[in-house]
Structure 1
Amino acid sequence: MNKISFLLIFTLFCANLFGQRAGYWQQAVDYKMDINVDEIKFQYDGKMTLKYTNNAPETLKKVYFHLYYNAFQPGSAMDHRLVNIADPDGRMVIKSGTKENPIIQSKIAQLKQEDQGFHQIKSIKQNGKTLKYKVSGTILEVELAEAMAPNTTTILDMEWLAQIPQIIRRGGKNTTEGVDFSMTQWYPKMAHYDEFGWHLDEYIGREFIAPFGDFDVKIHIQKDYVIGSSGKLQNPTEVKGYLSGAKIKETKGKATWHFFAKQIHDFAWAADKDFIVSKQQVPNGPELYFVRQNDDSIAKNWADAEIPTVKFFQYMDTHFGEYPWDTYTVVQGGDGGMEYGTVTLITGKRNFESLVGVIFHEVAHAWYQHLFGFNETVDEWMDEGFGSYAEHIAYLEIFNKPIESNPNWGAYEGYFDLAKSGVEEPMSLLADYYNYNYAYGVQAYVKGQVYLIQLEYIIGKDNLKKVFHEFYKQWKFKHPTPNDFKRVAEEVSGINLKWYQNLFVNTTRVINYGVKAVNNKEIHLENMSNFNMPIDLYVEYADGSKELFYIPALEMRGEKPVENFDLYKGVKRTVVEPWKWTTPDYKVSVNKEVKRVIIDPTKRLADIDYSNNTYVK
């Protein structure tokens, strides 16, 4: 075989394996952990053997870990952030004073020594050699004794002592609902390394990114506890709660829980003596476990939520790609709702609609962010926005709610409020650095949804459905960026989307079109903003006929196909010349008397002012 043929075959192989990004690579890490829990002190001793593979094209002389528990100490960066942001998370602060003169105190600053969190490293070895390390805040820096060349693997052994903090954010001990252990961000986690370098964000309460790998975890805990966890329980006959008639295998009053998970990038668990377990089977899909406290006040809502959750997995499989793991577990715990590899921890004392909504949202994260490992420290709008989009449209179908052409107008209203607030910042901003939690929340959960719904408006309803499936095919078990999603959308639709991605993600520009004037010969439109978009112009004539003028944006270099909405059935569609973004005015010629004109009757165009989008004679 000649060199050119070999290179061609190799290139095609890589493209099929790794999607659109040429030369894509990602690190791999496998964890084998042994955890011995002290239930009285809320501490544990941890031992870990970590297999780390360097697939990067450069040699690594250091590696880094996240020590998240260190954030829960007075004087930490998270502690200071809480009293130096205009609108701190109410779960994490104590508020007093008056409305005019509020006093904000960080809960972290009030923690007693026994309620603080920490990871104390006892030893780290590489292939048996003791390593030097340095702890700075929530980051552990480790000097390797043997540098890792490209395409090599090393073994790291670590021992540490951890103290589980009083729950303030996501994980910790003794939740407000009485759950003893919510074990999230609980172990020294290998930091993520990719083409952008090491991701060493100090933990101040936002979210995460990490390399994929296998987790083999044994937890030794007092025998009366029941655990809900990431992964599949390997020894259900030896522990409490999962099988009737199970005989607890104990050593010195402790049972050993053994879980294994393949190809995930975060592992979480929760434990309580009062937990009970129920199970559902998704047809041709995973086993679902529901782990909650034995509390009559929540029993009915949790039981009623099980079948809708099964249906949600079926919906996601159909619309976003097949769920690839054997199990998924919903556990009562934490401080709200948070997703982890094949598990979510959610607070359980909710009404039915809230419980189902949170379960749907967190399960959607099994795709958007756990199957597609988005970098939540940079692109939080992708996992939260995409997850919220999937949650909402699935809810409408599963509960037989009316589905409008815009499936979530409420998201648009939330985005408009932010755009008019004066505190909006670009979605591409690092997640930790928003000036307001309000702005972060709307960008992540709301504007991220608008991005998708408006993308459907640009490329067409059927094309967006195809994009999700193609994205799944190319990027599952990898770490895609916003540009990777854009490239898939361009590939599927044949439409250039650079302008949309840049303006909507990297700026705070807004869209504002209007109908300027209408006469019997032409319709005069106006772009009053600095954000160009294609226009669906719906026209009703005096004689009762209707016409849909489609005006592509020039930079699209293409056009969307006909969309199947009831509103457009039997309506003539006329494609006219593209609108140049350099020109604020556009005129559409007509030869009939016009009765009514509407810019985008589907209301998927995120126009900041809809009041001038309609003309009625």
Structure 2
Amino acid sequence: MNRTFRLSLAGLALATTLGATAGTYDPRETYAPFTYPQPVNGYRSGSGMPGPLFWQNRADYDLAATLDPVKNTLVGKATIHYTNNSPDALDVLWLQLDENRFTESARGNFTGDRMPKQFTDGYRIASVTVKQGGTASKAQFVVADTRMQVRLPQPLDAKGGKVDVTIEYSYDLPGDFGGRTGFDPSKNGNIYEMAQWYPRMCVYDDLRGWDTAPYLNSEFYLEYGDFNYAITVPSNMIVAGSGELVNPGEVLTKAQQQRLAKARDSDATVMIRTPAEVTDPSSRPKQGGTLTWKFTMHDTRDVAFGASTAYVWDAARINLPEGKKALAMSVYPVESATPQLWGRSTEFLKASVEHFSTKWYPYPYPVAINEGGSAASGMEYPGIVFDPMKAPAKPLHMVTAHEIGHTWFPMIVGSDERRNAWMDEGFNTFIDVYEMDAFNHGEFGPKRDGEYAPKGGNPVDGILPLLADQDAPALLMGADMVKEKYRHPATYYKAALGLVLLREEIIGPERFDPAFRKYIATWAYKHPTPSDFFRLMESEAGEDLGWFWRGWYANNWQLDLAVAKVAGSVVTIENRDQLVMPATLRVTFDDKTTRDIRIPVETWQQHKSFDLTVPGNRKIVGAVIDPDHKVPDRDRSNNGWPR
């Protein structure tokens, strides 16, 4: 625990014990020079941009897997073409084996509120082969929880060395206890939601070399590359996978191919497989045996797929900037095929992707899929999201927008979810705020009220209990260290509200929006750190924001602005707690007119209390700071005068 954090806890305890007084605020602490978590070097510049020596490794994949819905197993073969662009020769490779999370001895079983009761035996590794310098050989490997170390016959050259690793494997599928992968029944058959279904390369980066944080429960950190993958299933199943289906003629009927072609040019949703056709054998091009569905996806960190006999399927065109197009598709069971449930899913998906693409950065993939099941409901992967098949329209819109919003964070902007979950969930929740305002003229908005704000109350008040909780974590804390009770309030809500405050109160949209777009475009398909984000936003927006990074991200400080008194034309304002924010002071005169005066954060660099002289000769009869309730002030009873 660093000294700043210790001091912040002491300050919070003092404020709680003694109540709000001007003496609890210490400008020397709030405005001390901010130490960024990651230093500037040749790899990462002081402007928040990649430095002149920036590098990133690459992993391209050829994958083949067979899903057996009778045994509920998957048998696969993965060939990873790995490129070492780092300045270091590598004598080992590290891979992620996330299916091992479901074993009885998994470390993650000991981190939650209770031990799980169902298990699998995880990955069964049949063989590992390394091809290096044209020579293939069996490789030695060691499995440690959810990681596997592969020892290379000879060091992999720095700055462009290449190696191919082929792994043959199998595993038993977790059922509905998988959380992010598994299967559940529906009226017309099991629905399989298949993620973390192949060994994936760990990231080797300039921050810590091999990043081998175990998979406990808090998502992912992955390299980028191109994927070609093939999924073999019984012929009566439909597969919906990340990327583009490259053999539709082999796995779809002619009618389905024609309907897909129509959907590519239609803003209205087109049925590809109707509810009536789900139980019609003619809706499949082959009876009996298996079919292999082949997909490709470029510049992605991962792929996932859904598979079922039960899917209804519909689609529509996505309109992207510069006249480009993509395809929105939804697959879901017949029991969800009503206007009150999934009948508008593709409409929601299409609108979300179009909004995010126009406002922030264009959607880069050919297809976006909303898949309806229950084993992994509410989970995101590149090009496909798994959402609850029983969700009514309003919750379905919210979860669809949120999960596909993860395309931008962390799938385009590849932050480390396992260490900095707030850069994933928080940034995504932030862009959801404006999507919900925009969708169908605010049909389901506003999101600002969120699930934490008091019912009917002001949205910023929802954060006050978290800020007052001395046990609550700071945002700059590893995701696995955050207790479940704080995960949503901090990682989602506080992180998102921080960006709302930056955009609407501290910087302003006219400077924030271009800076945020620059951040996304600069770090697209790269791995930014918190410091890269902090520095780029400061540099592009033209603000020194160290006080905000410290108070909102490095600590869990509270804000308490007050109007202490009015004497003649002088209004005395105070900052009574450790967080500072710009705010508006509204003065009311005896002729019932008002005047708004903006109070910048610089007011509190040297002062705990400040006497503001209001120009003019009119008598002041009232004054209130933050009259429109824009900032999270913990004690609003002292915001106005007279009391």
Tell me, yes or no, whether TM beats 0.5.
yes
Q: 1:217 to 1:297 in 2, by over 3 A?
A: closer
Q: State the match for 2:143 in structure 1.
A: 135
Alignment of 1:237-386 (within 5 A): 237-240=249-252, 242-243=256-257, 253-283=289-319, 284-295=324-335, 298=338, 300-333=340-373, 334-386=375-427
Q: 1:171 to 1:439 in 2, by over 3 A?
A: closer
**Letter aligned with residue 125 of structure 1:** V
Q: 1:247 to 1:216 in 2, by over 3 A?
A: farther
SS of alignment partner, residue 223 of structure 2: coil
Structure 1 gaps of 5+ residues are 1-10, 83-87, 89-103, 555-578
SS of alignment partner, residue 559 of structure 2: coil
Q: State the match for 2:534 in structure 1.
A: 486
SS of alignment partner, residue 466 of structure 1: helix
> 195-204 or 520-529, which moves further after superposition?
195-204
Q: State the match for 2:630 in structure 1.
A: 604
C-alpha separation between the residues in 2 aligned to 1:227 and 1:234? 12
The 8 Å contact of residues 468 and 558 in structure 2, kept in 1 or not, is answered as: no
**Letter aligned with residue 434 of structure 2:** I
**Letter aligned with residue 58 of structure 2:** A
The 8 Å contact of residues 210 and 265 in structure 1, kept in 2 or not, is answered as: yes
> 65-74 or 511-520, which moves further after superposition?
511-520
Q: State the match for 2:10 in structure 1.
A: none
Q: CA deviation at 1:294?
A: 2.2
Q: 1:133 to 1:433 in 2, by over 3 A?
A: same
SS of alignment partner, residue 282 of structure 1: strand
The 8 Å contact of residues 170 and 184 in structure 1, kept in 2 or not, is answered as: no
Q: State the match for 1:466 in structure 2.
A: 514
The 8 Å contact of residues 330 and 345 in structure 2, kept in 1 or not, is answered as: no
**Letter aligned with residue 357 of structure 2:** D
C-alpha separation between the residues in 2 aligned to 1:378 and 1:12? 23
Q: State the match for 1:80 in structure 2.
A: 110
Q: CA deviation at 1:370?
A: 0.9
**Which of 73, 91, 96 is equivalent to 1:66?**
96
Q: 1:21 to 1:511 in 2, by over 3 A?
A: farther
C-alpha separation between the residues in 1 aligned to 2:288 and 2:393? 41
SS of alignment partner, residue 399 of structure 1: helix
The 8 Å contact of residues 234 and 291 in structure 2, kept in 1 or not, is answered as: yes
1:38 maps onto 2:46 in alignment: no
Structure 2 gaps of 5+ residues are 1-40, 260-281, 454-458
1:454 maps onto 2:501 in alignment: yes
> 329-338 or 394-403, which moves further after superposition?
394-403
Q: CA deviation at 1:425?
A: 0.8
Q: CA deviation at 1:326?
A: 1.2
The 8 Å contact of residues 18 and 24 in structure 1, kept in 2 or not, is answered as: no
TM-score (norm 2): 0.81
Identity %: 23
- The Cα offsets for residues 348-407 of structure 1, whole Å up to 9 and x where unpaired, read as 101110111100101111111111111111211122112112222211221323999995
C-alpha separation between the residues in 1 aligned to 2:251 and 2:574? 68
SS of alignment partner, residue 240 of structure 2: strand
**Which of 185, 202, 224 is equivalent to 1:212?**
224
Q: State the match for 1:442 in structure 2.
A: 489
C-alpha separation between the residues in 2 aligned to 1:403 and 1:237? 39
The 8 Å contact of residues 437 and 447 in structure 2, kept in 1 or not, is answered as: no
C-alpha separation between the residues in 2 aligned to 1:582 and 1:14? 33
C-alpha separation between the residues in 1 aligned to 2:410 and 2:629? 28
**Letter aligned with residue 141 of structure 2:** Y
1:536 maps onto 2:576 in alignment: no
**Which of 123, 130, 137 is equivalent to 1:125?**
130
C-alpha separation between the residues in 1 aligned to 2:625 and 2:529? 32
C-alpha separation between the residues in 2 aligned to 1:119 and 1:539? 71
Q: CA deviation at 1:156?
A: 1.6
SS of alignment partner, residue 414 of structure 1: helix
Q: CA deviation at 1:302?
A: 1.4
SS of alignment partner, residue 495 of structure 1: coil
**Which of 434, 437, 443 is equivalent to 1:396?**
437
SS of alignment partner, residue 174 of structure 2: coil
The 8 Å contact of residues 101 and 122 in structure 2, kept in 1 or not, is answered as: yes
SS of alignment partner, residue 424 of structure 2: helix
1:57 maps onto 2:87 in alignment: yes
Q: CA deviation at 1:412?
A: 2.9
Q: 1:523 to 1:12 in 2, by over 3 A?
A: same
Alignment of 1:560-575 (within 5 A): none
Q: State the match for 1:581 in structure 2.
A: 605
SS of alignment partner, residue 339 of structure 1: strand
C-alpha separation between the residues in 2 aligned to 1:247 and 1:231? 23
C-alpha separation between the residues in 2 aligned to 1:243 and 1:582? 69
> 318-327 or 391-400, which moves further after superposition?
391-400
C-alpha separation between the residues in 1 aligned to 2:444 and 2:572? 32
Q: State the match for 2:244 in structure 1.
A: 232
Q: CA deviation at 1:110?
A: 3.6
The 8 Å contact of residues 381 and 444 in structure 1, kept in 2 or not, is answered as: yes
Q: 1:367 to 1:602 in 2, by over 3 A?
A: farther
The 8 Å contact of residues 450 and 606 in structure 1, kept in 2 or not, is answered as: no
C-alpha separation between the residues in 2 aligned to 1:482 and 1:193? 18
The 8 Å contact of residues 236 and 287 in structure 2, kept in 1 or not, is answered as: no
Q: CA deviation at 1:430?
A: 0.7
Q: CA deviation at 1:553?
A: 2.6
C-alpha separation between the residues in 1 aligned to 2:474 and 2:172? 37
> 197-206 or 359-368, which moves further after superposition?
197-206
The 8 Å contact of residues 66 and 189 in structure 1, kept in 2 or not, is answered as: yes
**Letter aligned with residue 612 of structure 1:** N
**Which of 130, 151, 156 is equivalent to 2:159?**
151
Q: CA deviation at 1:219?
A: 0.9
Q: State the match for 2:272 in structure 1.
A: none
C-alpha separation between the residues in 1 aligned to 2:377 and 2:445? 29
The 8 Å contact of residues 345 and 370 in structure 2, kept in 1 or not, is answered as: no
Q: CA deviation at 1:21?
A: 4.1
Q: CA deviation at 1:149?
A: 2.5
Q: 1:364 to 1:511 in 2, by over 3 A?
A: same
C-alpha separation between the residues in 2 aligned to 1:171 and 1:179? 16
1:174 maps onto 2:183 in alignment: yes
Q: CA deviation at 1:221?
A: 1.1
The 8 Å contact of residues 224 and 240 in structure 1, kept in 2 or not, is answered as: no
C-alpha separation between the residues in 1 aligned to 2:609 and 2:627? 20
Q: State the match for 2:211 in structure 1.
A: 199
Q: State the match for 1:3 in structure 2.
A: none
C-alpha separation between the residues in 2 aligned to 1:47 and 1:13? 35
Q: Which has the higher contact order (CA 8 A, sep 6+)?
A: 2
Q: CA deviation at 1:600?
A: 2.7
The 8 Å contact of residues 116 and 165 in structure 1, kept in 2 or not, is answered as: no
**Letter aligned with residue 588 of structure 1:** L
The 8 Å contact of residues 340 and 392 in structure 2, kept in 1 or not, is answered as: no
The 8 Å contact of residues 538 and 599 in structure 1, kept in 2 or not, is answered as: yes
The 8 Å contact of residues 356 and 362 in structure 2, kept in 1 or not, is answered as: yes
> 257-266 or 243-252, which moves further after superposition?
243-252
Q: State the match for 1:161 in structure 2.
A: 170
C-alpha separation between the residues in 1 aligned to 2:101 and 2:543? 45
Q: CA deviation at 1:191?
A: 0.7
